[in-house]
Amino acid sequence: MSLIEPIQFATLVVLVLNALGVAALIILKAINRSRRRRAEARKRSHMRLISRHVAFEHSTDPVPAKAATDPAFIDALIDVRNALAGSDLEKLERLVARHGVVDELVSDLRRSFPKVKRLRAAMALAELADDEAVPVLLEHLDDREPEIRVQAARGLGRMKWTPAIDAIVARFGMETPWVRARFADTLIGFGSAATWPLVAYVTVNHRHETAGPVAAIRTLAAIGDDEAVKPLIEVLHAGADPEVAIAVIEALGHLENPMAAPVLRSATRDADWRIRAKAVTALGLLADTESLEDLAAALHDPEWWVRRNAAAALGVIPGGLDRLYEALTGRDHPASEAAIEALVDIGELAAARARIEEGNGRTRDHDLISVAEAGR
């Protein structure tokens, strides 16, 4: 059989590869083990060193010359920095400055490769949050590596370097979802300083983009600055894309500003059920007592989500409880279902049972229990 030669050859190749593989495995394990142990030992000694510098006002412990280029030293620095607050941080900053740590990291980042080292440098600069790093971080907000962009923004955020906000917002629309989410986190960290840049971005872009403006609106909601309420309402009036409209309604709820109540109330009658569902939830967050009528009406909505959210909202607004009990014993079965779920969720069922046990049971407590027991 002429096939036997190639088979033999292939077999020998494979067996040789196997032998190499076994050797590689053994060697690799040994190397990794010793490397790990040495790195741990180094980190531990660095940790002790840094701790002494922080604990003693004028520590004369010598810092090894190569410390700034030692990843273990930087790791230890970062760990210690994250464990401390206040004046201790200043001591750490002095240590960092004295040994040119930031300069080393900056030059690492500016290199074109290796990627891992650049990434490490970016992350370390973000963690150390030393002002010296601002220029290089600004430079790298549009680095070709997504993770470096993330760390650059993050570092600027930790330093509360507000001039960076515009640059970060400008990138919102063109970023990948992951980077955009992390940029959003950074902007939330900036707080209300980021409000107007974000508002501007949404106002300008919401008609021809969705993903970016939606993320920006969610960020505004998380920041919680009232200044965003009026502009967001304008966005709604300007006839927004449904995804954008939903995001705005959600945001208006989180911003908890009564100015938004009228537009939310009319949104509970929107043609799109998702908008109705979000609007009723938002009204619940506003705890707006003038919306009780609209919410009670929403209990009879054809869509399950709208009914459920309306009931939940009624559960938390003062005066809403009465509407729930009304729907509970009403003729509209779906509304009654929604009401009972909300009543149970807010603890009314347990409270009713307790009241009955103590002898203070009211008629509607008994109604509640009997509807609950009738169950499914």
- Region 205-234 residues binding other proteins, contact defined as CB under 8 A: 218, 222
48 forms part of the interface with other proteins (CB under 8 A)? yes
Alpha carbons 1 and 24: distance in angstroms, whole number: 36
In this chain, which stretch among 40-48, 227-235, 245-253, 321-329 interacts with other proteins, using CB under 8 A?
40-48
User: Nearest-CA neighbor of 227 among 265, 187, 194?
Assistant: 194
Within residues 128-157, the interface with other proteins by CB under 8 A covers: 147, 150-151, 154
Bond prior to 114 in cis (omega within 30° of 0):
yes
Tokens found for residue 36: 């790990």
Asked whether 206 and 235 are in contact (CB, 8 A), the reply is yes
Q: How far is the CB of 185 from other proteins (least distance, A)?
A: 5
When the beta carbons of 32 and 192 are compared against other proteins, the nearer one is 32
Give the residue with the Cβ less far from other proteins, 357 or 373.
Answer: 373
Retrieve residue 250's tokens. Answer: 């959600």
Is residue 85 part of the contact set for other proteins (CB under 8 A)? yes
The answer for residues whose C-beta is within 8 angstroms of residue 280's C-beta and 6 or more apart is 268, 294, 295, 298, 306, 309, 310, 313
Q: What are 139's two structure tokens? A: 């430079």
Which x/- pattern over 288-327 shows residues binding other proteins (rule: CB under 8 A)? ----------------x-----------------------
Return the closest-CA partner of residue 344 out of 323, 372, 325, 363. 372
CB-based contact 43:75 (threshold 8 Å): yes
Q: Which is nearer to other proteins, 89 or 193 (CB)?
A: 89
Cβ neighbours of 51 (radius 10 Å)? 15
Residue among 2 and 363 whose Cβ is closer to other proteins: 2
Out of 64, 69, 83, 111, point to the residue binding other proteins (CB under 8 A). Answer: 83
Query: Does 56 sit near other proteins (CB under 8 A)?
Result: yes
Torsion (CA) 171, 177, 178, 181 in degrees, nearest 10: 70
User: Interaction with other proteins in 181-210: which residues (CB under 8 A)?
Assistant: 181-182, 184-185, 188
How many whole angstroms separate alpha carbon 139 and alpha carbon 200? 23
Alpha-carbon dihedral sign for residues 174, 177, 179, 183 = positive
Closest distance between other proteins and the C-beta of residue 343, in Å?
Answer: 9
- Do 284 and 266 form a contact (C-beta atoms < 8 A)? no
| E-assigned strand segments in 179-248 | none
For other proteins, the closer CB: 134 or 349: 349
25 near other proteins, judged by CB under 8 A: yes
Q: Which stretch binds other proteins (CB under 8 A): 115-123, 226-234, 242-250, 268-276?
A: 115-123
Q: Does 44 bind other proteins (CB under 8 A)?
A: yes
User: Judged by CB under 8 A, which of 67, 102, 123, 324 binds other proteins?
Assistant: 123
Radius of gyration of the chain measured on its C-alpha atoms: 30
Q: 121 by DSSP, 3-state: which?
A: helix
**Minimum CB distance to other proteins, residue 358 (Å):** 18
- Helix (H) / strand (E) containing 119: helix 115-128
- Residue 150 or 275: which CB sits closer to other proteins? 150
In the bound state with other proteins, the residue whose beta carbon lies nearer, of 182 and 206, is 182
Tell me if 52 contacts other proteins by CB under 8 A: yes
94: contact with other proteins by CB under 8 A = no
- Beta carbon nearer to other proteins, 224 or 361: 224
Q: Which is nearer to other proteins, 301 or 337 (CB)?
A: 337
Among 62, 302, 319, 375, binds other proteins (CB under 8 A): 375
Write the DSSP symbol of residue 332: -
